[in-house]
Amino acid sequence: MVKITLVGAGSSVFARQLITDMLAIDGLDGGEFGLVDIDESRLKLAKAIAERLVQLTGKHWTVSASPERTEILPGSDFLVNSVEVGGVANAAPEYEIPLKYGVDQCIGDTIGPGGIFKALRTGPTWLDILRDAERLCPDAWVLNYTNPMSILTLLALEGTSMRTVGLCHSVQSTSRLLARYLDVPYDELYWRCAGLNHNAWFTELTYQGKDMYPVLRERARDPETYEEDPVRFEIMLHFGAFVTESSGHFSEYVPYFRKRPDLIERYTRSGYRGASGFYAQGWPTWRRENDERIAAMLEGAEPIPTERSHEYAADIVEGIALHSPRVIYGNVRNHGLIDNLPDGCVEVACLADRNGIQPCHFGPLPEQLAALNRSHMAVHALMLQALLHRDKQAARYALLLDPLTAAVCSPAEIDAMFDELWEVERPYLQEFE
């Protein structure tokens, strides 16, 4: 019997979908879901919806739950991480303080001021979870969904012995979006993709043996299509490849689109297409509404979705537990997988089967794309140093090297921003004091 433990299970919508996906695996008819969250009210909600989902399938799964992870971790075959450390309390200052200095973020959870401070808040707790796992379930596969993905996954791979892969939905979502832009059947679109999480590149797009990039460039000239993804189309037109992350998210990863008000007005749009403060302003409301929706499902006021999603966690469980090979895109250590990127965390195709998760060699990226990735990997390397050695200065250097922050601010301004953020978040940074 397989045991799947979800740490941070109080993120009810996310946990609900992953449990739904696991229950939809043909041939996996029983096991145990272990749920962990320090917020007991949200843990109770997560347990209730998990039990209802099991009931709907008629499969033989049990559900255990506890705010104490050491009670749930023993015997886990898979450990899914979606923890959020101090997120609600810090979402606003991580947007508002950088904005005072001219650094305008849309999401702010990957690099940049928001991503760096989220890593500082989250990293020590993440290491504590993994070190408990080393004692209590050392053979488990760890599936990390918490951002900043590359930094936290690299921290797990360098700082612990746990077999860890970082999982996102940007590759599978964007590949489907590209099939729509190109108006071709998704199952017949051939593509190759590699790079970093949120910064991976579709280096090939072909349909029936035909290169589809000329078609995509032509579609980008259609104003209606361009409006759906302005930043990503601009990057494709100038750098030669379409990137995996949304226009809004990606606009804050490079120095080109958010450094002047006129550029922000020209290239960004509403919502995930680049709205200023979109995540900080929306997340507390989305969190509350998600919990209310789960409660409505339990009361019968809303239907409970039972469709399997495109998330990779269930594919990994299916591949490993049922010996049914699956290809996923995972964030793993770059031991020669992408030839012209350094050691660090990269996102590549991986085979999940009875032997575990096996990353596939990609080769070199086009040099202009690798150069953009390397600018991020320098930040990742410094954040690894900061988190492993509780090195505050390394985190400061990481912010100095962030592409957008450096495009907007002087070194002295970045120092002042860092100190102001540190002071506000000090209660969540006690591991560094």
Q: Show which residues are catalytic.
A: 169
Tokens matching residue 195: 């790079």
Asked whether the beta carbons of 130 and 155 are under 8 A apart, the reply is no
Asked whether the beta carbons of 183 and 164 are under 8 A apart, the reply is no
What angle do helix axes 392-401 and 411-425 make, rounded to 10 degrees? 130
Q: How does strand 345-353 pair with strand 326-333?
A: antiparallel
Element housing 345 (H / E): strand 345-353
Q: How does strand 356-359 pair with strand 163-166?
A: unpaired
Task: Kindly list the distances between the CA atom of residue 83 and the CA atoms of 50, 145, 224, in Å, as whole numbers in the listed order.
Answer: 18, 8, 38
CA distance 364 to 380: 20
DSSP string, 242-279: EESS-HHHHHTTSSSSSSSHHHHHHH--SGGGT-TTHH
Residue type, 244: T
Tokens matching residue 160: 């612990």
Cβ neighbours of 381 (radius 10 Å): 20
Instruction: Give long-range contacts, CB 8 A cutoff, 24+ apart: 211-220.
Output: 212/182, 212/184, 213/240, 215/182, 216/178, 216/181, 216/182, 216/242, 219/181, 219/182
CA distance 256 to 266: 11
Cβ neighbours of 30 (radius 10 Å): 11
